[in-house]
Structure 1
Amino acid sequence: MFEILESRLKGCLKLTPKTFVDQRGQFTKVFHEKTFSDLGLETQFKEEYFSVSRSGVLRGMHFQSPPDDHVKLVYCLNGMALDVVLDIRKGSPTYGQYDMFELNGDEASCIYIPKGFAHGFYTLSDSATMVYKVSTMHSPNHDHGILWNSFGVNWPSKSPILSNRDSSFAGLESFISPFTYDD
């Protein structure tokens, strides 16, 4: 049902579902509880939302801290985005390292992001619609981020369109992580 690609960041996966295409268009199942359960992945998602971003927009690098930290399942419904996941788990062999994925509405790949990772993306097309399923409710008091240009990603633009909030996050070098790596 899914082609699974393990990221170099332990626990982070790229899941590409089987897509059915015919003269009517496309049909894709992005979540299947039994398949996720069999893979040892989160199956209980509390919220789902989407964002629409224009070309050159960078959103990130976001995460929620404990006790409201969450697993995310992210995919691009329409358009194309460069998705970035950053390991922020103390003691992890890949702490401070990132992985990048190109997501688009035609391929329908999802990124499974465990707790202890920051997430962001850059819009590559004229517009991109990104969908997020999360395992906990949004908690403004636990909603944080890492500065987008503080950990070595070669983003497509050195001056992306950012929110005031995203441009004000502290850099990775001064970040004190609330997450611990659990092998």
Structure 2
Amino acid sequence: MKIIEELLPGCLLLEPQVFTDHRGEFVKTFHDDSMHSLGVDFNLHEEFYSVSHKNVLRGMHFQRAPHAHAKIVYCLTGSVLDVLVDLREGAHFGRVKSTVLSGENKRVLFIPAGIAHGFLALEDQSMMMYKTDLHHVPSADSGIRWDSFGFDWGIQQPILSERDMQHPTLSEYRQNHE
């Protein structure tokens, strides 16, 4: 596992180990000692995945304290435009970064607590895997509106859930947390 880029403070875009032979590929997406050597302290508590149609936008999600969790995400099949918004207090608040994750590039993203996360599926059957260091707590679910932080998703009418359409804007979120 090696760091490709630090997208936001503590948000690491990683290249996993890929083993290829005549049978195909074997990809190691998580190894605790490797993560520790990169400065990431992550204890896996839960894992889940989503499968999305092209133009589905999921986000921008996070868990509120004290249930805020770190995540490791990657795309097994298809491709997604993965987007991060820093919600931590300080100079980085509101900074946005994005990257493409795909089954082809096999990149892995470590996202610390305090970051809103979302993605736009660029292909049908885009499968995202999530590993979290705390269990999901439905009452701590939160988010910000996908179109409220000045990011160009490259789409005007994404497919959204009712829940995601109801999130507050980034400025409303900030006003309520100052």
Tell me the TM-score normalized by structure 1.
0.92
* Equivalent position of 2:137 in the other structure: 139
Look up the match of 1:94. Answer: 92
**Identity over the aligned pairs, expressed in percent?**
43
Moved more, 18-27 or 77-86: 18-27
Give 1:69's aligned amino acid.
Answer: A
The gaps in structure 2 that reach 5 residues or longer are none
Gaps of 5+ in 1: none
Aligned partner of 1:26 in structure 2 is 25
Shift of 1:176: 3.4
Asked if structure 2 preserves the Cα contact closer than 8 Å seen for 1:89 and 1:179, the reply is: no
RMSD of equivalent CA atoms: 1.7
Q: Is the 8 A contact 1:7 1:99 kept in 2?
A: no
Residue 34 of structure 1 aligns to a residue in which SS? helix
Partner of 1:14: 13
Q: 1:110 aligns with which of 108, 112, 130?
A: 108
Q: Which runs of 4+ in 1 moved over 3 A?
A: 176-180
Taking structure 2 as the reference length, the TM-score comes to 0.94
Aligned residues: 178
Query: Hey, what's the Cα distance between the residues in 1 that align with 2:111 and 2:92?
Result: 14
Deviation at 1:43, TM superposition (A): 2.6
Q: Give the aligned partner of residue 42 of structure 1.
A: 41
For residue 59 of structure 1, what is the amino acid of its counterpart?
R
Q: 1:169 aligns with which of 167, 170, 173?
A: 167
